[in-house]
Amino acid sequence: MVERRVEPSTATVGLMLPAFADVAALTQTERAERWTLRGPDAALDGLCAALGLARPQRLRATVAGSRAAFWLGPDEILALAELGAAPVDFGAGSDGAAVEVGDKFVGLDLAGRRADAVLASHCPQNLSLAAFPVGKVSRTLYAKVEIVLWRRGASSFRIEVVRSFAPYLVAALTAAAEDLAALDRR
Amino acid sequence: MSASYRISGGSALKRERTVRFRFDGRDYVGHQGDTLASALLANGVGLFGRSFKYHRPRGIVSAGAEEPNALVGAFGPTGGFTPNLRATQVELFDGLVAESQNRWPSLDFDVGAINNWLSPLFMAGFYYKTFMGPKAAGGNWVWRQLFEPAIRAAAGLGSPPTEPDPDRYASMFAYCDLLVIGGGAAGLAAAETAANSGAQVILCDEQAEFGGWLLSEAQAEIEGRAARDWAADVVARLRGRDNVQLLTRTQAFGYFPHDFVGLCETIEDAARCRNPALPRERLWQVRAGRVVVATGAIERPLVFVDNDRPGIMLAGAAQTYLQRWGVMPGRRIVLFTACDSAYPTALALAEAGGNVVELIDLRSNVAEALSAPLRARNIAVSVGAAVTGSRGGLRLNSVEIRSVDRNGQTGAMARQLACDTLLMSGGWTPSVHLHSQARGKVAWSEEAKAFLPVARAGGPISAGACAGKFGLRAAIRSGADAALAALGAPPTVDVTPAVAEPALDLTGMVGRVPFAGDPRRGKAFVDFQNDVSARDLLLANQEGMVSIEHVKRFTTTGMATDQGKTSNLNALAIVASNLGKPVPAVGLTTFRMPYTPVSFGSFAGIGRGDQFDPIRRTPIDGWAQAQGAVFEDVGTWKRARYFPKPGEDMHQAVARECRTVRQSVGMLDASTLGKIEVVGPDAAEFLERMYVNSWRKLAPGRCRYGIMLNEAGYVIDDGVIARVAPDRFHVTTTTGGAPRVLHMMEDYLQTEWPDLKVWLTSTTEQWAVIAVQGPKAREVLAPLIEGVDLAPKALSHMAYAEGRICGVKMKLFRVSFTGELGYEVNVPADYGRAVWEAIWEQVEKYGGCAYGTESLHVLRAEKGFIIVGQETDGTVTPDDVGLSWAFGKGKGDFVGKRSLSRTDLAAAGRPQMVGLLTDNPAIVLEEGAQIVAMVNAPIGTEALGHVTSAYYSSNAGRSIALALVADGRNRLGTKLHVPMPGGSVSVTLVEPVFVDPKGERVNG
């Protein structure tokens, strides 16, 4: 019997969470389980169903309780679930793939009056509500790193970023927020 | 000097706010709202700089972005220095320090001005012809080593800053239905028209306030009010709308494909004084649905001898300084014009109390309505006359005037007219720069004496003066029409406001003003900034250059930082006249971005220092930092290179780490290893095709070392691959090769084998990887692991198992890159640090160590294991590096297979990997060193190969090396030589294994 037990540590991504609340607030989300789901639509239907989720349509998310599925490409979905639920059984022999990536990503919530402008500072996508409505998901760029961007509200976004890029991303978001805070008060 | 040129008025000024500043070491006072140019003019400073080549004294010519002369260096509010700023665009702030350029020791007394007297030597092309060294001295060696550095030091512009830029630079991506560039009459009308239709509009203007010429207009009224008040009303209405983004101090510098426009917004320096946290600039990258270009027109100088003396200025600029900044340009003012706009200027100056002496008009026919109001104010009006020269030192003191007949012949008699200020107006040139950048064509209009934009379907729409629509009513109308056309809205009834304005002919003249005598005498400047005069253009034509592109490069006309904004059309017309051709036959040079210079900082944005590129760190990085590890860059990753103990250098630390691993146990953070999960019923088949090895028969729970080739048959990546389940493989790649391998796999899957049911997922960052290597590795791990039997028979070399370590889900590989008993523990990344520390406690019990990438390299070289990119360089086959054994027997096709049968890849005698032992065991060879057959081979001897890896091996007790040597395996036992600066080093070729040649330790 092994005596030694260890706890996870999320501080290793070295996040800075500065206060620029009048522009937007950035918070790191709780640890979560994540899966990359890949395959043809029929397989993705089954894999999503195993999570109790509907397969998301192009550039959209589906949500059920604390679980969500993001469409990333014609054969790729990123699914999230909170920790601690019963193990998910994706079933064997499917034509698709479910791969555990819970620790590959760091989740960030960005919300506030100028959240869209903080993102637009370094994200080349059109983030107007008309072009990027609530519920839209896109795998895109922020400055030099790839992110998954999900609009949860008019001024509330979830960002998923691969963990080693998180410090760069947070620093870039911070710089953008600081610049906007100063520019807005001009 | 008192502010004696400042009069009342000045719409841009806040008179109650004085601002102190310093120019060339002298203190001055201006007002909030001043530019450096307006404030210095108000202080009676007329001398702003020395010219580029001849070091002639120069003053202000313009009031805007087109300024060719008044380039200054200035320190910003945060202390950052910027050279080559146009004084007309530098806004005053309290404490501004600026300096003139290109003068020594001072602006008033400049040693380099001797160039002016030597100028007959310095005609265009002088440098090319004169400073070529004799062939015997090595062609142009003399030019490069001697002349060019000296000339560059004497010529030129300001000095680059010596300190790192202290400022921040922001950026923003924006989308809009309509981008309106230029906020004058046309731009304001376009923006408001579009805004009224509900469109999303961005309106930008390079100046501190919107209005363009409306701010300088002295006579015209719109809807019964001063033009500038109308502009202020429009701006106020636009400000109140939420579908309009207004950007002042924002230059549209580049027009890219698909209506993508680069804007550089400058943040007001005065605001940055109050809040140093403000960025200096913000780069806007705007994707516009449509674009209206309303960039106005630039007044042309008149080309006559000595037209560059301080005190000679564009007439429109003088009117602008008067209206916006309350500056009277001189004490005794003369105007010289070829178009109508100088008349209202003269009137405005006189009405403001200026001493306007005379207006000289090149034209013979001038409407009485224009000249009568001037004469009524005792301003002489001489028509059919020209200024043909000027006198003065650091400031103009008189001009020479001659009559001009209808054929353009000047009269014999010249008179001198005393003045300290000459305002010139050669007509107005539409600014077609952005239209041209957008690949729009221009067409010569003889009527307008200008190139006008030709509309292109879907392209930017030019409006106002830049489209040749002069006059305020015409500009407003064309702006509104452009907005409607851009948005696809039907034309509406004409709602253009009532404009009361004089009808002015702004055509003017292009080319050189009629002159007397030899055209090669005297300098009639065309391009002020590059010191190009009419005679330089004549010389270029006489030298046989007829293309404007050749003339431009020979004379450098239009090639200065102002890109010839004030000079291009005159240069073109002079060349046309020299060649006896019409202007459009000579052609037009390309308008290039940026419209005016843009700072590097603006482009760099946040991409500097640690944010230049992402710096990637592993979950265990913090532990290594705390242990004092020395890091190295591996791709974008930081990896611990070695862990020095106090007093150890790298060699001592590495020697200790390597010894410890083979004697006891060591642990390595291998988290950066690329990982790809390959899943699906066709996973094995897919790997069969991507790797040289066999995978179908690999049992779940087993690993195999895989080699990947490119189509050419060369090794591009390697790594251990475990079969996790019948339909699931865990592929590892090199650290640097991970993205490339994944992309190549996806590429083949999507384009070559879309029928294969297999799916790829990068799991590099999901798993922290801890390599535990050494004879004590099993004892170290055993107490921490559940669910896996570590007994050698249960988990043999190249086995894979899943279980738990310290309660955490684990993938365990029994693999070795050291030749020792070894494991690679994979745990979810969040647990990496904690599991590492738990293993570390165990390792310490056995006297083990943490080791870094340097020891990793030595340990694998001791065993002759290759590193892709070190032993391979993109021209190496598996057989070259002794990996033929890895090929799957009887398997089908795989990437690179066909190429391996090419004659040269199958030939005998190819470079093959061998080991090298130096005769002197203390000498460590240099990686990359060449290997030859002869001692002290002469230069030019063909090499037999080169050293790929070389280390001191504490385990072998001597230096070791790996090398690629032609036919190396047949040369084993022979001696070759490695020529080095200190003399040849003799080496013996051996099998590339230096420790445990039988390979037994790995099975421990």
d(Cα B1002, Cα B993) in Å, to the nearest integer? 14
Report pLDDT for B186: 98
Subunit contact A120:B617, Cβ cutoff 8 A: no
pLDDT tens profile A22-70 = 889 898 898 999 999 999 999 999 999 999 999 999 999 999 999 999 9
Query: How many angstroms separate the CA of residue B168 from the nearest CA in chain A?
Result: 8
Q: Domain residues for A44?
A: 21-184
Q: What is the mean pLDDT of residues B875-903?
A: 95
Structure tokens at A93: 């022999």
In Å, how far is B463's CA from the nearest CA of chain A? Answer: 27
With CB atoms and an 8 Å threshold, state whether A4 touches B279.
Answer: no
Which residues contact residue B260 at a Cβ distance below 8 angstroms, ignoring those fewer than 6 apart? B285, B286, B287, B288
CA B411 to CA B391: how far, in whole Å? 19
- Nearest Cβ partner of B278 from A38, A122, A182? A182
CB-CB neighbors (< 8 A) of B239 in chain A: none
Is residue A87 less than 8 Å (CB to CB) from chain B?
A: no
Q: Do B557 and B533 contact (CB within 8 A), yes or no? A: no
| Strand B822-828 to B808-813 pairing | antiparallel
All residues of chain A having their beta carbon less than 8 Å from the beta carbon of residue B763 are 99-101, 104
Helix (H, G, I), strand (E, B) or coil at A141: strand
Residue A180 distance to chain B (closest CA, Å): 8
Confidence of residue B155 (pLDDT cuts 50, 70, 90): low
Nearest to B757 among A95, A125, A172 (CB): A95
Residue B461 pLDDT class (50, 70, 90 cuts): very high
- Please give the pLDDT value at position B148: 67
- For B:137-176, CB contacts with A below 8 A are 168, 170-175
> Which are the contacts of A130, defined by CB distance < 8 A and separation ≥ 6?
none
| B614 with A171: Cβ contact below 8 A | no
Numbered ranges of CATH 3.50.50.60 in chain B: 169-297+430-500, 301-426
Q: What is residue A16's DSSP assignment? A: -
CATH 1.10.10.1100 residue ranges of chain B are 517-580
Beta-sheet pairing, B525-527 with B532-533? antiparallel
Cross-chain CB nearest to A6 (options B287, B677, B838): B838
Please check whether residue A129 lies inside any domain of the structure: yes
Model confidence at A14, in pLDDT bands (50, 70, 90)? very low
Give percent of chain A above pLDDT 70.
92
Instruction: Give the nearest chain B residue to A164 (CA atoms).
Output: B616
Q: Which residue of A lies nearest to B265 if distances are taken between CA atoms? A: A183
Q: Report if residue A10 sits inside a domain.
A: no
A174 contacts chain B (CB < 8 A) = no
The band of B127, judged by pLDDT with boundaries at 50, 70 and 90, is low
Q: Match 């690993």 to its residue by tokens.
A: B703
Instruction: For chain B, positions 735-764, list CB contacts with chain A under 8 A.
Output: 757, 759-764
B43-64 pLDDT, tens digit per residue, is 999 998 888 888 899 999 999 9
* Set of chain A residues whose Cβ sits within 8 Å of the Cβ of B287: 126
Query: B4 falls in which pLDDT band (50, 70, 90)?
Result: confident
Question: Can you name the CATH fold of B616-672+767-875?
Answer: Gyrase A; domain 2 (3.30.1360)
Q: How confident is the model at residue B1 (pLDDT cuts 50, 70, 90)?
A: very low
Where do you find CATH 2.40.30.110 in chain B? Answer: 903-1003
pLDDT reported for residue B49: 87
From B173's Cα to the closest Cα of chain A, the distance in A is 5
Say if A174 falls within a structural domain.
yes
Q: Is the pLDDT of residue B205 over 90?
A: yes
Region B124-137: mean pLDDT is 59
Q: Of A12, A95, A168, which is closest to B622 when you measure between CB atoms?
A: A12
Q: What mean pLDDT do residues A118-143 have?
A: 97
Q: Tens digits of per-residue pLDDT, A151-179?
A: 999 999 999 999 999 999 999 999 999 99
- Write the CATH number for A83: 3.30.1360.120
Residues from chain A that touch B614, judged by Cβ atoms under 8 A, are 144-145, 164-165, 167-168
Residue B34 has pLDDT above 90, yes or no: yes
Q: Above 70 in pLDDT, residue B152?
A: no
Kind of pairing between the strands at B221-222 and B225-226: antiparallel
Percent of chain B with pLDDT strictly greater than 70: 95
Region of poorest pLDDT, from B143-152, B572-581, B879-888, B925-934:
B143-152
Phi, psi of B747 (to 5 degrees): -60, -50
State the nearest Cα–Cα gap between B794 and chain A, in angstroms. Answer: 19
Q: What is the pTM of this model?
A: 0.93
* Residue A3 covered by a domain: no
* pLDDT tens for each residue of B806-861: 999 999 999 999 999 999 999 999 999 999 999 999 999 999 999 999 999 999 99
Looking at residue B901, its pLDDT comes to 94
Q: Judged by CB atoms within 8 Å, which residues 37-76 of A form the interface with B?
A: 38-39, 75
- pLDDT for B199 equals 96
Check B614 against A165: CB less than 8 A apart. yes
The reply to whether A43 falls in a domain is yes
pLDDT-based confidence at residue B766 (cuts at 50, 70, 90): very high
Report the C-alpha gap between B843 and B854 in whole angstroms: 20
- Taking domain B169-297+430-500, whether its CATH number is 2.40.37.10 is answered by no
pLDDT score at B695:
97
| Residues A133, B271: Cα–Cα separation, whole Å | 35
Give B1004's pLDDT tier (boundaries 50, 70, 90): confident
Contact between A2 and B783 using a beta-carbon 8 Å cutoff: yes
| Residue B880 pLDDT | 97
Structure tokens at B327: 């500056």
Question: If contacts are CB pairs under 8 Å, which of residues 184-203 in chain B contact chain A?
Answer: 200
Q: Is B785 on the interface with A (CB under 8 A)?
A: yes
Using a pLDDT cut of 90, give the percent of chain B over it.
87
Out of A9, A36, A167, name the one closest to residue B834 (CB).
Answer: A9
| B chain contacts of residue A103, beta-carbon cutoff 8 Å | 765-767, 828-831
User: Which residues partner with B824 through β-bridges?
Assistant: B771, B813
Confirm if A171 and B168 have CB atoms less than 8 A apart: no
**Alpha-carbon distance B806 to nearest alpha carbon in chain A (angstroms):** 4
When scoring B176, B743, B745, B759 by the number of chain A Cβ atoms within 10 A, the one with the most, hence best to mutate, is B759
CATH 3.30.1360.120, chain B: domain bounds? 616-672+767-875
Q: Does B259 touch chain A (CB under 8 A)?
A: no
pLDDT tens-digit series, residues B271-323: 999 999 999 999 999 999 999 999 999 999 999 999 999 999 999 999 999 99
Q: Which pLDDT value is given to residue B174?
A: 98
- The pLDDT tens digits for B156-201 are 678 888 999 999 999 999 999 999 999 999 999 999 999 999 999 9
**Euclidean distance between the first and the last CA atom of chain A, given in angstroms as a whole number:** 64
Q: How many CB pairs under 8 A join A and B?
A: 172
**Residue A31 within any structural domain of the chain:** yes
From B606, B805, B833, residue closest to A12, measured CB to CB: B833
The interface pTM score, or ipTM, of the predicted complex is 0.96
Cα separation, B916 vs B923, in Å, equals: 11
pLDDT score at B129: 61
Nearest to B170 among A8, A95, A179 (CB): A179
pLDDT band at A12 (very low <50, low <70, confident <90, very high): very low
Query: B611 and A168 in contact by Cβ < 8 A?
Result: yes
Name the residue facing A97 among B680, B806, B808 (closest C-beta): B680
Q: Which fold has domain B301-426?
A: FAD/NAD(P)-binding domain (3.50.50)
Confidence of residue B448 (pLDDT cuts 50, 70, 90): confident
Are A104 and B804 inside 8 Å of each other by CB? no
Per CB-CB distance under 8 Å, the chain A contacts of B269 are none
Question: Does the domain spanning B517-580 belong to CATH 3.40.1190.20?
Answer: no
Closest CB to B175 among A36, A100, A128:
A128
Return left, alpha or beta for B79; rule: phi > 0 is left, psi -120 to 50 is alpha, else beta.
left
A125 in contact with chain B, both atoms CB, cutoff 8 A? yes
Pick the CATH number of B14-116 from 3.10.20.440, 3.10.50.30, 3.20.20.80, 3.30.460.80: 3.10.20.440
Query: For chain B, where do the domains classified as CATH 3.30.70.1400 start and end?
Result: 674-763
SS3 state at B369? helix
Which of A3, A9, A149, A180 would you mutate first to test chain B, the one with the most B CBs within 10 A? A9
Q: DSSP code of B785?
A: E
Residue B134 has pLDDT above 60, yes or no: no
Tokens of B166: 């202290």
Of B764, B806, B833, the CB nearest to A2: B806
Of A120, A163, A178, the CB nearest to B174: A120
B632: contact with A, CB 8 A cutoff: no
> What's domain B674-763's architecture?
2-Layer Sandwich (3.30)
Q: Which of B78, B172, B686 to mutate to test the interface with A (most CBs of A within 10 A)?
A: B172
Say yes or no: B934 contacts chain A, CB-CB below 8 A. Answer: no
The answer on pLDDT for B128 being more than 70 is no
Dihedral sign computed on CA atoms, order B897, B899, B904, B905: negative
When CB atoms are compared, the residue of A2, A162, A185 closest to B786 is A2
Reported as a single tens digit per residue, the pLDDT across B514-552 is: 998 899 999 999 999 999 999 999 999 999 999 999 999
- Check B830 against A10: CB less than 8 A apart: yes
pLDDT score for B119? 67
CB A37 within 8 A of CB A69: yes
Are A9 and B287 in contact (CB < 8 Å)? no
- Per-residue confidence (pLDDT) for residue B139, from 0 to 100: 56
Q: What is the spatial distance between Cα B138 and Cα B406, in angstroms, rounded to a whole number?
A: 57
Q: Is residue A82 part of a domain?
A: yes
pLDDT bucket at A4, cuts 50 / 70 / 90: confident
Mean pLDDT to the nearest integer, B368-382: 96
Local confidence band at B123 (pLDDT 50, 70, 90 cut-offs): low
Domain count, chain A: 1
**Confidence at residue A185, expressed as pLDDT on a 0 to 100 scale:** 85
What CATH number has the domain spanning B903-1003? Answer: 2.40.30.110
